[in-house]
Amino acid sequence: MRKIPEGVIALAPMAGYSDFAFRAVCRLWGADLVYSEMTAAKFLLAGGDIPKDSPVVQLFGSDPQELAEAARLVESSAMWVNFNAACPVRKVMKKGAGAALLGDLRRLRIIVRRMKSVLQKPLSVKIRLGLEKNVVEKIISVLLEEGVDLVELHPRTARQLYSGKVDRKVFAYIKERFPVALYASGDVFTPHDVRELFEVYGVDGVLIARGAVGFPWIFRSSKLYMKEGRVYSPGVDEMLETIELHLRLLKSSKGPRAAAIFRKFISGYTRGMRNARKYRLMMMREGSVEGLIKLFREFMLAHACRAQYRELYVGGGYEDGKENKSAGCKTGARWT
Ligand SMILES: Cc1cc2nc3c(=O)[nH]c(=O)nc-3n(C[C@H](O)[C@H](O)[C@H](O)COP(=O)(O)O)c2cc1C
């Protein structure tokens, strides 16, 4: 098993979100690592763009030979290669890829073996608990037998999609029974969640997905919380700078589609803020990056004092939540 960094807080792979622009924003806010969106092996072999800035490139597919060739293509620009055996989306599973492989461990084994045989750099595999029932021990045994260097686990079955709540005890259970480097994924929304995963459940890394959307400061905040027990609350200026940077990077990488792509971040960047609903509607209709920047400035300078709702409520009945309520929030007041 090759050496994988420990204590890592990373941006999880998210199709449609963890693109070049959002990866850069999250790194700026302290993400130790960023995963690329899942990339089809076939797409890369047909000459598709390799994500060059992404320390961890995620591949998906079902053909062992294609995956091995694609892995070779991406490894020089990656810290390691990640294979997706976790995606429960029907379109992906129908082709025998993503979480479908958790119901076909023979194929999963062959794929992993082929990929390992060509790679100099580490190979990690992102999994769920199983297809319909929990067979995670069997899956991990197969992966370890094939020399996989790291497992990223989202402990729900594919059938569960996102329902229910992740049972974190499974991480500790696996760490006790298997000599495996394990990164946790699933329901990580607060710095308290991050700390608990490291300190109580003993994982080697934590992936944040939905919790980082419109909330990239969660990375810095989590680190500060683990070190000093307090969270980081960005000021309005910092939030505006971040949003502007995100938009400009999208514009430079995606061109005229930038404003449309950014729409899925609007609710995250404005959540918990007064008058958000009215502004969100305007932002959703705005077709230009410059127009969005203007709207965000106007909105945030007037209404952003509640912006830190989630940072202050870091989970686990965190006491600063009370502070937020008593701090009051007058229109026009700035959060410092
Ligand atoms: C919109 C969206 C896209 C996702 N795309 C991917 C993907 O491309 N590859 C992958 O392995 N997981 C993907 N995931 C799963 C996440 O990486 C993560 O495991 C899951 O969302 C649970 O973490 P969370 O509760 O922090 O969101 C995606 C999740 C979401 C919400």
- Name the residue ranges covered by the structural domains of the chain: 8-228, 235-336
Q: CB of 49 within 8 A of CB of 26?
A: no
Q: What is the pTM of this model?
A: 0.92
pLDDT at 233: 85
Pick the CATH number of 8-228 from 3.20.20.70, 3.40.50.300, 3.90.700.10, 3.50.50.60: 3.20.20.70
Axis-axis angle for helices 258-270, 289-303 (nearest 10): 10
pLDDT at 52: 84
Nearest-CA neighbor of 308 among 264, 267, 273, 265? Answer: 273
Residues in CB range of 319: below 8 A, 6 or more apart: none
Q: How far is the CA of 331 from the centre of ligand 1 (A)?
A: 36
Q: How far is the CA of 207 from the centre of ligand 1 (A)?
A: 9
pLDDT at 1: 58
Strand partners for 8: 205
CB of 208 within 6 A of ligand 1: the answer is: yes
Q: CB of 110 within 8 A of CB of 142?
A: no
pLDDT at 304: 62
Can you name the CATH fold of 235-336? 1.10.1200
Q: Count how many residues are written for the chain.
A: 336
Q: How far is the CA of 227 from the centre of ligand 1 (A)?
A: 27
Segments of the chain scoring below 50 in pLDDT: 306-336
pLDDT at 327: 34
pLDDT at 2: 62
pLDDT at 37: 96
Residues in CB range of 294: below 8 A, 6 or more apart: none
Nearest residue by C-alpha to atom 31 in ligand 1? 210
Nearest residue by C-alpha to atom 29 in ligand 1? 14
Euclidean distance between CA atoms 184 and 171, whole angstroms: 7
Taking the CA of residue 156 as reference, the ligand 1 atom at the shortest distance is: 22
Q: CB of 126 within 8 A of CB of 102?
A: no
Nearest residue by C-alpha to atom 1 in ligand 1? 14
